[in-house]
Chain A
Amino acid sequence: MKISQKIINNLKSGGADFFLSVPCKLLANMITILENDKDIYYSAIPREEEGMGICAGAYLGNKLPCIMMQNTGIGNSVNSIVSLLQLYQMPVVFLISYRGTPGEPVGAQGGMASVTEDILNTLRIPMLQCNTEKDLDKISTFTNHAKVIESPVAILCNFNLMKED
């Protein structure tokens, strides 16, 4: 719970005030925290691509949105990232549980893990890799950076970091 709480605190101090999630076991603690947080908007949603649309609308209404999802969700969302968020220059923070990284017990997650960073690089989305608790201190500045550059940014939290929470 300590790591999840720290991530949420840093996202909020960076300005994020509108949260969506598509579930992941590694995000479960964060989802519990958000469900009980009265300062921000939070909802679960069925699919990541739809979430990109909802985030775009929330940004138009002056929110700084954050969507939490597995890295698989990036695969579901490529067109909406490029031809909505990037085309209109909309800041959205992707908080990604990086399934398939070392420690992962499910072998099938390795496939998307092996292409996730290549996809984000191809999309020219700034990435923050969180491998240790200390890395989480960078989340606040990185969240605000999305707003400054009017672009989506991606925060990748690897398996071993999250599973210890």
Chain B
Amino acid sequence: MNRFELLNLLQNTIQDELVICNIGLPSQELYKINDRPNYFYMLGSMGLASSIGLGLSLAVDKKIISIDGDGSVLMNMNTLATIGNRAPANYTLLIIDNGSYGSTGDQKTFTNERTSLKDVAIGSGCQNVIECSGEETNENLQKALVDTNNSYVIISKIKSGNVPIKPIPLNAVTIRDRFRKEIGLVNYL
């Protein structure tokens, strides 16, 4: 299973949760599969999907899912320590770990070699850290979403590979405003 197939599969589980999606191909693929206003697409700032989701989860009660990648988490690894110490129960971090920097040409990341993000997450203080296959991701995400007492970090190990895709045509402020409308903060759209 590659990322496109996994993102497609996740559409069975994700309903009205607020989703922060990683920059580049993950957001472009998600947009192509099933664009929704409760999806916040990152157009810049690689590495910060987990952090944006964490900040949002500290501000609202709704369930938040940050969809991140192994390369991006490696770029902002301190995020796991902050999540380990501060993530509220409405926060789930889903790391799609395909062992490669997909958006830049599938160069290998260190998770292909000796680095285990599961071990880093546990060592950083994260609880409910689950490493699973792409096929097992939906059931683990469902488990995280129904649990109102705990935050989760799910690391989904899949194959690298991308599908041909175009940039997202939405501009940043449009993404911002329709997303905030989902939270009830915008009434002019």
Contact = CB atoms under 8 A, between A and B. Distances in A.
Is chain B a partner of chain A in the same complex?
A: yes
Nearest to A82: B44
Nearest to A62: B185
Which secondary structure characterizes the binding site on chain B? helix
Contacts, number: 110
24 contacts: A18-B58, A43-B82, A46-B78, A46-B82, A50-B79, A52-B51, A53-B47, A53-B48, A53-B50, A53-B51, A56-B51, A57-B51, A57-B53, A57-B54, A57-B58, A58-B58, A60-B40, A61-B59, A61-B183, A62-B185, A65-B55, A80-B48, A88-B173, A90-B176
Interface in A12-54: 18, 41, 43, 45-47, 49-54
A-B interface, 7 closest residue pairs, ranked by CB to CB distance from nearest: A83-B44, A57-B55, A61-B59, A53-B51, A53-B48, A57-B56, A54-B55
Nearest to A65: B55
Interface residues of A, number: 31
A89 interface: yes
Contacts of B175: 88
A47 B45 CA distance: 14
| Contact size range, B | 20 to 34
Which secondary structure characterizes the binding site on chain A? helix
A61 B18 CA distance: 11
A18 B57 CA distance: 13
B55 A61 contact: yes
Interface of B: 20, 40, 42-45, 47-60, 76, 78-79, 81-82, 86, 172-173, 175-176, 179-180, 183, 185
Contact of B82 (A54, A63, A89): A54
A108 interface: no
Contacts of A82: 44
A87 B41 CA distance: 12
A55 B45 CA distance: 13
B43 A87 contact: yes
Contacts of A59: 55
Residue of A45, A54, A83, A87 contacting most chain B CB atoms (<10 Å): A54
